[in-house]
Chain A
Amino acid sequence: MVKAAQRMYYGKALAKLAERKEIVVLDADLGGSTRTSDFAKVAPERFIQIGIAEQNMIGVASGLAAAGKTVFASTFAVFATGRCWEQIRQAVAYPKLNVKIVATHCGISVGGDGASHQALEDIAIMRALPNMIVISPADANEAYAATMAIADLKGPCYMRMGRADFPLITSEGVKFEIGKAAVLRNGNDVTLIGTGQMVMSCIEAAGILEQNGISAEVINVSTIKPLDSETILASVSKTKCVVTAEEHSIIGGLGSAVAECLSENRPTPQIRVGVKDSFGESGDPGELMKKYGLTTDDVIKAAENVIGKKGKK
């Protein structure tokens, strides 16, 4: 299967967007990794280096946006959301300014850098902010399309991406509609809801489950906020049970967002696949995904377990 890194396609999208003069890109000394360097090559005058000062980066982004710019501010997710969360709250979300915080290096698959650099809480803390849209594309093609889509959005947005190469599950030129989940496979026995690279695990799991006589529906939730409740509720009204899968803590992320939706609208058995309230560590990305329960096998086990909970009172 062809693989590509989301951040590489983010860089490509920014380079394309550079033709739009209102677009400004801010970096906190990680442009080579986040690939904002691709924008810097074609529009150096609108690439503003802030240095290792994320709090200042958000404030500067706020001022630029207030003066009419569409601002992309990028760094690693831990620093882009955690270091400056309150700056984002005060200077971006509250005044609803046109700032896109696009972060790379989300999740445990960051690998060798270890827990200090593995963002596992970013969805939770960004989702809690009023006015904030939260996007988590499934692969590099979707990352490209989402970058284009958020550039047209007037207002705050957070987009998370991984570091490593992920399998391409969508095709080049895929359409991205903010707030719309995509049903990738139809099924009747269980709904597998994934985000980011865990969508691929859900697809693989569905294939294996089918061989065991279980029909799984797969949904890619690439906009976590606002959540596409309609698509999710329509699916569970049929399958009556859910597995959520994300490269994020099980606290506050996709699993929580889905649980909130279900408990208020259609209480449904659910199992959350994600990091179980712990920090990560250094290691090979594949080994880490295995150790922290983020593989296709983990999704399969969760699906089998949750099916067993159906109909129980």
Chain B
Amino acid sequence: MGGAKGLDVKDLRRRADKIRMHVIEMTSEAGSGHPGGSLSSADLFAVLYFHVLRHDPKDPEWEGRDKFVLSKGHVAPVLYAALAESGYFPVDELLTLRKIGSRLQGHPVKGKPPGVEMSTGSLGQGLSMSCGLALAAKLDKKDTRVYCLLGDGELQSGQNWEAMMLASHYDLNNLTIFIDRNHLQIMGSTEKTMSIDPLAYKLRAFGLRVISIDGHDIKKIIKACEKARSSSSPTAIILNTVKGKGVSFMENNADFHGRSCKPDEKEKALKELTERMSSW
């Protein structure tokens, strides 16, 4: 189980880069997908699946597990990469992403592959589902923790705010919300498309405890999760990130929101990530 391990920050950094490499390879092989937002949240996935979550890849339906819901379902590649690296299914299967008959659908499907908790992809719904999971845990007096990752552009969808109102109303302190604040969505800047700021104020006004950190700082992510665990209210962790993080030409480039690397770009990206991985 992931949570039982001691903390090895270097190991987690390498795992995050390994996950990034999978993302590049998978989306490149598929010829489509969403690598930009996958790379921006790779560090979070390494921390979650190799340190924070109580889970058992050999027993995906284990009753005592924590639950992770990927509300920004378009970054399915990073979820699949983290699940495969954790041992839920063979790493080789990653290259079947988006191909006919594959369990690795373009957007996540519950239980397919094992380890995917909810079906998402239509933005704005994962937080409501997470509230349902958290409420069920409270009803059953279980200590399950529920984690949900939202995109920043996704917050333009009103259902998120309905869900936050509910999370706060029912004191769902077993719920931790991550917001991948990379400032970019398909049409460009989130602030130019439909502004989200002042984000922390809005979240606080909805009754959430807010922690804002560098979303690529492994230690800070871990610390924020620890704070969330002891919070009496639901917690929102704003992960200030760089879209495309880890690959120079993809960083802060909205073009890579919804397109994969061409063969030459793929080679370049993998080379950069290999170097990055050995630098830790």
- Bound CA span A60–B162, Å: 11
Q: Decide yes or no whether A187 CB sits under 8 A from chain B.
A: no
Q: Is the CB of A66 within 8 A of B117?
A: yes
Q: Decide yes or no whether B27 CB sits under 8 A from chain A.
A: no
Q: Decide yes or no whether A51 CB sits under 8 A from chain B.
A: yes
CB distance from B28 to the nearest CB of A (A): 28
Q: Is the CB of A56 within 8 A of B163?
A: yes
0/1 string, A78-102, CB within 8 A of B gives 1:
0000000011011100110000000
0/1 string, B185-203, CB within 8 A of A gives 1:
0000000000000000000
- Bound CA span A111–B255, Å: 53
Q: Is the CB of A66 within 8 A of B128?
A: no
* Chain B contacts for A1, CB-based, 8 A: none
Given contacts A55-B159, A56-B159, contact A67 B165 (CB under 8 A): no
Q: Which of A48, A66, A68 contacts B129 (CB 8 A)?
A: A66
CB distance from A27 to the nearest CB of B (A): 13
CB distance from B158 to the nearest CB of A (A): 8
* Chain B contacts for A59, CB-based, 8 A: 125-129, 131-132, 159, 163
Q: Is the CB of B118 within 8 A of A51?
A: no
Q: Is the CB of B166 within 8 A of A56?
A: yes
Q: Is the CB of B122 within 8 A of A90?
A: yes
Q: Is the CB of B136 within 8 A of A91?
A: no
- Bound CA span A55–B134, Å: 17
- Bound CA span A109–B274, Å: 68
- Bound CA span A45–B140, Å: 11
- Bound CA span A86–B120, Å: 12
Given contacts A87-B159, A91-B129, A95-B109, contact A63 B136 (CB under 8 A): yes
Within 8 A of B (CB), among A12-64: 24, 45-46, 48, 50-51, 53, 55-56, 58-64
* Chain A contacts for B132, CB-based, 8 A: 59-67
What total of A-B pairs shows CB separation below 8 Å? 102
- Bound CA span A89–B140, Å: 27
Q: Which of A50, A68, A86 contacts B136 (CB 8 A)?
A: A68
Q: Which of A51, A65, A86 contacts B122 (CB 8 A)?
A: A86
CB distance from A51 to the nearest CB of B (A): 7
* Chain A contacts for B140, CB-based, 8 A: 67
- Bound CA span A65–B169, Å: 20
- Bound CA span A88–B17, Å: 37
Q: Decide yes or no whether A310 CB sits under 8 A from chain B.
A: no
Given contacts A51-B166, A58-B128, A95-B109, contact A63 B134 (CB under 8 A): yes
Q: Decide yes or no whether A69 CB sits under 8 A from chain B.
A: yes
Q: Is the CB of A90 within 8 A of B139?
A: no
Q: Which of B129, B139, B158, B159 contacts A46 (CB 8 A)?
A: B139
CB distance from A301 to the nearest CB of B (A): 45
Given contacts A56-B162, A56-B163, A94-B119, contact A62 B128 (CB under 8 A): yes
- Bound CA span A51–B140, Å: 23
We find that the number of chain B residues with CB closer than 8 angstroms to chain A is 32
Q: Is the CB of A90 within 8 A of B128?
A: no
- Bound CA span A65–B128, Å: 12
Q: Is the CB of A69 within 8 A of B122?
A: no
- Bound CA span A62–B134, Å: 12
CB distance from A259 to the nearest CB of B (A): 31
- Bound CA span A55–B159, Å: 6
Q: Decide yes or no whether B16 CB sits under 8 A from chain A.
A: no
Q: Which of B119, B127, B133, B170 contacts A90 (CB 8 A)?
A: B119
Q: Is the CB of A63 within 8 A of B128?
A: yes
- Bound CA span A170–B170, Å: 42
Q: Which of A48, A58, A65, A67 contacts B137 (CB 8 A)?
A: A67
Q: Decide yes or no whether B121 CB sits under 8 A from chain A.
A: yes
* Chain B contacts for A87, CB-based, 8 A: 122, 125, 128, 159
Given contacts A59-B129, A94-B119, contact A69 B159 (CB under 8 A): no
Q: Is the CB of A91 within 8 A of B128?
A: yes
Q: Is the CB of A53 within 8 A of B162?
A: yes
In the complex, what residue of chain A is closest to B137 when comparing beta carbons?
Answer: A67
Q: Which of A46, A51, A63, A95 contacts B133 (CB 8 A)?
A: A63
Q: Which of B119, B128, B139, B165 contacts A51 (CB 8 A)?
A: B165
- Bound CA span A50–B134, Å: 14
CB distance from A143 to the nearest CB of B (A): 26
Within 8 A of A (CB), among B131-183: 131-137, 139-140, 158-159, 162-163, 165-166, 169-170
6 sampled A-B residue pairs with Cβ under 8 A: A48-B170, A59-B131, A63-B118, A63-B128, A64-B133, A66-B136
**A→B interface (CB under 8 Å):** 24, 45-46, 48, 50-51, 53, 55-56, 58-69, 86-87, 89-91, 94-95
**B→A interface (CB under 8 Å):** 69, 109-110, 117-122, 125-137, 139-140, 158-159, 162-163, 165-166, 169-170
> Can you name 4 extra interface pairs (CB under 8 A) apart from A56-B166, A87-B125?
A59-B132, A67-B136, A87-B159, A90-B121
Closest 3 CB pairs of A and B: A63-B132, A59-B128, A67-B136
